[in-house]
Amino acid sequence: MDVTVSLSTPQAVSWPLPIDDDQAPADPVSALHLGPLHTPGVLQAFAPACDEDSRKTLRRMAEIGFLPGESVRLVSRGWLRGGPIAVRVGQSTFALRAHEAALLQVRWAVKV
């Protein structure tokens, strides 16, 4: 997965975000920020960390409860593309930057 992040301009953050929040991803496993709103999922794995900042971010997220096997739910997205998202992990809700959420792989429940 390629993610481009420029710290000087937030608009440079680019990745495809779903247009319709009710549309589940084609693959039931996707990065957290690409998941459908209000759909339960289970954290499967961490994406490969390619630099020291990503490794530190993953370590910090693991310390606060983002661990494989935990239940997750994407609660809301900021109005800016690539902006912050609200994520529920177990009974706690966290705000994550989209590039942080891109490091987490989630298996989403299939909508019936």
pLDDT value at 110 more than 50:
yes
pLDDT value at 67 more than 60:
yes
pLDDT tens-digit readout, 6-41:
333 333 333 333 334 444 445 688 899 889 999 999
Helix or strand (DSSP H, E) at 62: helix 52-63
> From CA 64, how far away is CA 18, in angstroms rounded?
27
Q: Please classify residue 96 by burial: count the beta carbons closer than 10 Å to its beta carbon, then call 0-12 exposed, 13-18 middle and 19+ buried.
A: buried
**Domain edges within the chain:** 28-108
Task: Give the HSE-up count for residue 25: Cα atoms under 13 Å, Cβ half-sphere.
Answer: 21
Name the residue among 52, 28, 40, 36 with its Cα closest to residue 105. Answer: 28
| CATH code for the part of the protein at 28-108 | 2.30.30.90
